[in-house]
Amino acid sequence: METSAEDQLIGPLLLARGTIDRSSALRGDAAWLEQAWHDPASRVLVIDDGRTLVRRQGDEVHAVLFPTAEAPEGERYLLGVEDAVAYFAVAAPLPGVPSPEANGRVTIPLSLRDTPEGEIVAAGLRQVGGLLGDRDAGLLVYAVALEAWHSSHEYCPRCGTRTRVVAGGHIRVCPRDESQHFPRVDPAVIMMVRDADDRCLLARGPQWPEGRLSVLAGFVEPGESLEHAVVREVAEEVGVTVVHPRYLGSQPWPFPRSLMLGFFADAVSTTLTPDAEEIAEARWFTRDELLQAIQSGEVRLPPPVSIARRLIETWYGGPLSGDW
């Protein structure tokens, strides 16, 4: 079985990029946080239900970053520092985007009026995560993950008291029992399974339309290694036995809080017995078969922003089209 395709993932893992220093040592410095917030050079990315404002200029997409003086009210999260500029996220309605109560009226914030030409729109990671530059992609992934965690962890799991945000948005503290609660990350394995003939295994869940295929994936269970999770998930989902799980790379997938860890694994059995609750369809493909299925429209692949797409293209040996 050829293994050279595994030496390096093809192209970047688009949600694993970032340039800022997360500056964890500054999160507990209340005086510094206050000073940074009032610094005219500091910038704010506003996040609302996973979306932010972006500016499209030709083929380029940039996150809209506000001076702190023009940021809306909301929970603040320190994202980090780069070149002496502090970056924050604020969880709040997006400026300029009409709410149901606005009757269609849109107020363009001052900081957006005198900008270079370009359309300003609200978008999420799935739409623009692969189009943003390294800094902006890293900021948005970080902000989406923090917002999702805070929105679902407002109350203490011990006593039910409403918690308060500290440490620049990286800890919630219960004022009643003083317990501390930290952002949660759920590890999940995602694997390209190949057989002895170097065919790849693709499948779809019952909730997906026909033709929308991807590699297998599943969450790591308590007390389980990543390698054991790969073997278990493949066996549970399609009844195939795999060996030699090999780690290739990872990227955050904040929908709402996963860390996707990519693997290749070798199948020693090929009979497919899909779990009906998890898998609606599973198929083996040669490279030619997959290419023909994509070109005919029979198969559509995960978007380039996903690690699933990178694993498929790594096996295939080059870029593919046919996005969801």
Give the pLDDT of residue 96: 82
31-70 pLDDT, tens digit each:
999 999 999 999 999 999 999 999 998 889 999 999 999 9
pLDDT on residue 43: 98
**CA–CA dist 21, 81 (Å, integer):** 5
pTM of the model: 0.89
pLDDT in tens, 130-185: 999 999 999 999 999 999 999 999 999 999 999 999 999 999 999 999 999 999 99
Nearest to 124 by CA among 40, 53, 31: 53
Q: What is the pLDDT of residues 222-259, one digit of tens each?
A: 999 999 999 999 999 999 999 999 999 999 999 999 99
The string of DSSP codes covering 98-161 is PPGGGTT-----HHHHTSPS-EEEEEEHHHHTTTB-HHHHHHHHHHHHHHHHHHH--B-TTT-P
Calculate the CA dihedral of residues 17, 306, 190, 218 and round it to 10 degrees: 110
Q: Which two tokens stand for residue 166?
A: 């500290």
Query: Which residues 6+ apart lie within 8 Å of 153 measured at CB?
Result: 163, 172, 181, 184
Q: Report d(CA 168, CA 54) in Å as an integer.
A: 24
DSSP for 192-234? Answer: EEE-TT--EEEEE-TTSPTTB-B-EEEEPPTT--HHHHHHHHH
Main-chain phi, psi angles of 281, to 5 degrees: -160, 140
